[in-house]
Chains A and B, each alone.
Chain A
Amino acid sequence: MAKSKDKDNKKADLPRERKLSNIPAHISNQPADETTVSLLRELVSHLRQKRSELREEWAKRIMGAELLTAMTREEILAEATSVYDNYVEALETGTYEALQAYARNLSERIIPRGVETHEVIGIVLLLRDTLARSLFSKYRDDFNKLNRILDAYEPAANRIANTVAVGFVQERERVIRDQQEAIRELSTPVLQVRERLLILPMIGIIDPQRARQLTEQLLQAIRKNRAKVVVIDITGVAAMDSKVANHLVQTVEAARLLGASVIVTGLSSEIAQTLVTIGVDLTKIITVGDLQGGIEEAERKLGYKVQIVDVSTKPSA
């Protein structure tokens, strides 16, 4: 692309706050009355007091449950510290944006290490339980107080677990998408057979997404190879729904904007029918019966002379 942007600088202009909106109302809309707020405050100060002890215990339980096996003990402790602090902070502030940002950040770091979804959910739940147990032992003599503290704690803790898990999953999905994109690009089916001539064989069942991708790959290939003619062969395509047919037409038009003309070959009568049905003016698309014919037509357009050499009468050297 002609204009390159520094991605990180641009990110500074974007809103920092993004709330998750897929959390059921009964969790997210806990009435934050006076008691809940003060209970949470009490809870938070307890958790801060017991920070190192609870963190140790949690780390121990993580290793006991054989989670985060991809990480060393030191790494687990280090991450445990920041997760713990973010967790308590979320409890304290009642807002989850910072936690969400942290979760994405954490995910970005640990996904390449091979950490899986069940591990992330597992450790967050373990933390929730570790802290809950610590509350049990602190308030075991005051049953009522314990109940009220748990009433304040539980919804917040659940929301935290949800936030971290979803953050992780979203990051993971983004990684998978990037990887799939990379794979598809590597396996580009666009062939350069002559200078300035590209062939795109479309085979099998093409869904709209694959069609879109083929279009993008083709356009990039046109630019890279400076192609003037493209032959799109759809002999191998059994049927095409109108969405995909539309993509085909758009491909032809976009290629033209890049200065390349397109020849479609192998157009079956069914597909021709589909195209007509969606309102395509077939006279505007150059079509040739088969691939071979299409290539010859392309070569003619490019100014290659097609010579027929009769091998049998060639004199032996």
Chain B
Amino acid sequence: MPNSLGDYIERNSSEKTFKVSSDKDVVKIREYARDVADDIGFSNNDRTLIATAVSEICRNIIEYAKYGKISIEYLNKNSKRGILITAKDSGPGISDINMALKDGYSSGRGMGVGLPGTKRIMDDFIIESKPDNGTKITMCKWVTT
């Protein structure tokens, strides 16, 4: 669990999961993410940022694993609000996570853009991945007052 979540977070009934396999899914999911971000109270810029980051993560899944799942949840902690995004796939996995997160790194196309940039803008960002064992990315962002 990402650090800033702490002990009091419940996985709650607001979670919505989407399958990711085509670019039409990408559009649908990122629009949902934007609406959720709006509902949570993120600023205009943050909403676009979150939607774009979700779009990037989706594209990574399609590019590397062909198929995956994304879930988007509301977060609540001591009246702080935030968004939690989890991306899972059973793809080839990332053999060197540190490299993948380095700015400018690109194993082929796309990877170099999606992950480092997304990590930068999220408050917490965790990748769990083993070669041939799929990848799971958990990330969250909190509304700042």
Whether B35 lies near A21 (C-beta < 8 A) is no
B8 contacts across to A, CB distance below 8 A: 21-24
In the bound complex, CA of A227 to CA of B50 (Å): 28
Residues of B contacting A15 in the complex (Cβ-Cβ under 8 angstroms):
13-16, 74
B144 touches A11 (CB 8 A): no
Indicate with 1 or 0, residue by residue over A152-196, a CB within 8 angstroms of chain B CB atoms: 000000000000001001100110110011000000000000000
**Alpha-carbon separation in the docked complex, A201 to B55 (Å):** 35
Q: What is the CA–CA distance of A240 and B120 in the complex, to the nearest angstrom?
A: 19
Residue contact A20 to B76, C-beta cutoff 8 Å:
yes
Asked if B77 and A22 sit within 8 Å, CB to CB, the answer is yes
Report yes or no: A18 in contact with B35, Cβ–Cβ below 8 A. no
Q: A173–B35 Cα gap in the complex (Å)? A: 20
Shortest CB-to-CB span from B35 to chain A, Å, is: 5
- CA–CA, A23 to B44, complex, Å? 30
Bound together, the chains give a CA A181 to CA B144 distance in angstroms of 12
**A13-B35, A176-B145, A216-B45 as given contacts; A166 in contact with B14, CB under 8 Å:** no
Instruction: Enumerate chain A residues within 8 angstroms of B38, measured Cβ to Cβ.
Output: 7, 10
CA–CA, A18 and B16, complex, Å? 12
Q: Check: A212 CB closer than 8 A to any chain B CB.
A: yes
> Given A10-B35, A176-B145, A177-B145, A18–B44 Cβ distance below 8 Å?
no
In residues 121-139 of chain B, which contact A (Cβ within 8 Å)? none
Describe A's contact surface by its main secondary structure.
helix
Name the A residues within 8 Å of B13 (CB-CB).
15, 17-19, 97
Tell me the chain A residues, 102-149 only, with Cβ under 8 Å from chain B. Answer: none
Whether A14 is near chain B, meaning CB under 8 Å from some CB there, is yes
Q: Does A209 contact B (CB under 8 A)?
A: yes
Count of A interface residues, CB-CB < 8 Å: 27
Q: Which A residues lie within 8 Å of B35 (CB)?
A: 10-11, 13-14
How far apart sit A209 and B45, CA to CA, in the bound complex (Å)?
12
Q: Contact between B41 and A209 (Cβ–Cβ < 8 Å)?
A: no
Task: Give CA–CA (A166, B74) in the complex, Å.
Answer: 16
Residues of A within 8 A of B36 (CB): 14
Query: 6 closest Cβ contacts across the A-B interface?
Result: A21-B10, A19-B12, A17-B13, A15-B14, A18-B14, A21-B76
18 other A-B residue contacts (CB within 8 Å) besides A22-B76, A174-B41:
A10-B35, A10-B38, A11-B35, A13-B35, A14-B36, A14-B39, A15-B16, A15-B74, A17-B14, A19-B13, A21-B8, A21-B75, A22-B8, A166-B79, A176-B145, A177-B41, A181-B43, A216-B43
Chain B interface residues toward A at CB < 8 A: 8-10, 12-16, 32, 35-36, 38-39, 41, 43-45, 74-79, 81, 144-145
Would you list 11 pairs from A and B whose C-beta atoms are within 8 A, ordered by A residue? A7-B38, A17-B14, A19-B76, A20-B76, A21-B8, A21-B9, A22-B79, A169-B79, A174-B41, A181-B43, A216-B43
